[in-house]
């Protein structure tokens, strides 16, 4: 069975490579463009996937809104460099069908896109692992400060936690906060212990659940 794809990717070499992989995997690539504005989404086959390969310059959620406003029948798939819990949740609220981190081989990527073409909602596997034993709710932002006080996080640990929510690596966090990577590792270890979670993704989920992104500590990210 042939599935249809309209592909958006700023990098021409990556765009061509992905188009070739899809064409060899029973997908028909209807259009291939560098930006969502270059595609006539209204005229695109309603059974198609709109696959958007995002980067730091791409408004992923805005792209989903723009595409579905023109053709609500399309299934939007975001290919991202790293997991950002808040962006992922906003993307699904906007109507996305899949949010995939680009660290997978082409075979599972193709398989996942086939599932999305059938209408399945897809999230990164590490999100499923992180959700084990946890429940996400959408707390009142006013409760964020109370949650942070209860966790007994220092201001710098809160800054690092906000960076974890954004999906930043230790190297990026160290550069952003002007500290060493070793210091960042110490802060991350302390955050995991205080929040009683097992990994960085679970810490980001905890912070999202408590609306930490609304807290004034997010001002530390403004300088990034």
Give the predicted TM-score (pTM) of the model. Answer: 0.61
- Alpha carbon dihedral 112, 118, 124, 129, in 10-degree steps, equals -110
Looking at the structure, tell me whether residues 78 and 189 fall in a common domain: no
Close Cβ partners of 84 (under 8 Å, ≥ 6 residues apart)? 165, 166, 167
Q: Give the count of alpha carbons within 13 A of 51, CB side only.
A: 30
CATH number at residue 110: 3.40.50.2300
Q: What are 44-54's pLDDT values in tens digits?
A: 999 999 999 98
Q: At 205, is the pLDDT very low, low, confident or very high (cuts 50, 70, 90)?
A: confident
Looking at the structure, tell me whether residues 53 and 156 fall in a common domain: no
Domain enclosing residue 23, as ranges: 3-123
Q: At 76, is the pLDDT very low, low, confident or very high (cuts 50, 70, 90)?
A: very high
Q: What are 80-129's pLDDT values in tens digits?
A: 988 777 788 889 989 999 999 888 888 888 988 998 998 888 888 767 55
CA distance 54 to 93: 18
Q: Is a pLDDT exceeding 90 seen at residue 131?
A: no
- The answer to whether residue 98 sits within a structural domain is yes
Strands 27-33 and 98-101: unpaired
Q: Say what percent of the chain tops pLDDT 90.
A: 43
Looking at the structure, tell me whether residues 70 and 152 fall in a common domain: no
DSSP collapsed to 3 states, 100-143: EECCCCHHHHHHHHHHHHCCCCECCHHHHHHHCCCCCCCCCHHH
CATH number at residue 150: 1.10.10.10
Measured over the CA atoms of residue 188, residue 189, residue 193 and residue 197, the dihedral's sign is positive
Looking at the structure, tell me whether residues 157 and 215 fall in a common domain: yes
How many separate domains does the chain show? Answer: 2
- The answer to whether residue 129 sits within a structural domain is no
- The answer to whether residue 130 sits within a structural domain is no
């Amino acid at each position: 069975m042939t599935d249809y794809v309209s592909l958006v990717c700023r990098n021409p070499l990556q765009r061509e490579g992905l188009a070739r992989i899809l064409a060899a995997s029973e997908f028909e690539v209807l259009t291939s463009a560098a930006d969502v504005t270059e595609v006539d989404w209204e005229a695109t086959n309603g059974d198609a996937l709109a696959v958007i390969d995002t980067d730091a310059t791409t408004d992923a959620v805005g792209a989903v809104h723009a595409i579905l406003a023109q053709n609500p029948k399309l299934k939007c798939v975001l290919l991202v460099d790293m997991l950002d819990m808040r962006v992922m949740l906003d993307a699904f609220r906007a109507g996305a069908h899949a949010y995939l981190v680009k660290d997978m081989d082409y075979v599972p990527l193709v398989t996942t896109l086939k599932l999305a073409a059938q209408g399945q909602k897809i999230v990164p596997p590490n999100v499923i692992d992180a959700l084990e034993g946890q429940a996400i709710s959408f707390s009142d932002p006013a409760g964020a400060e109370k949650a942070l006080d209860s966790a007994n996080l220092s201001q710098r640990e809160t800054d690092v936690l906000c960076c974890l929510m954004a999906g930043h690596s230790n190297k990026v966090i160290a550069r952003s906060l002007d500290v060493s990577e070793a210091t960042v590792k110490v802060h991350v270890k302390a955050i995991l212990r205080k929040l009683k979670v097992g990994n960085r993704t679970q810490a980001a989920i905890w912070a999202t659940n408590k609306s930490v992104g609304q807290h004034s500590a997010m001002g530390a990210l403004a300088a990034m």
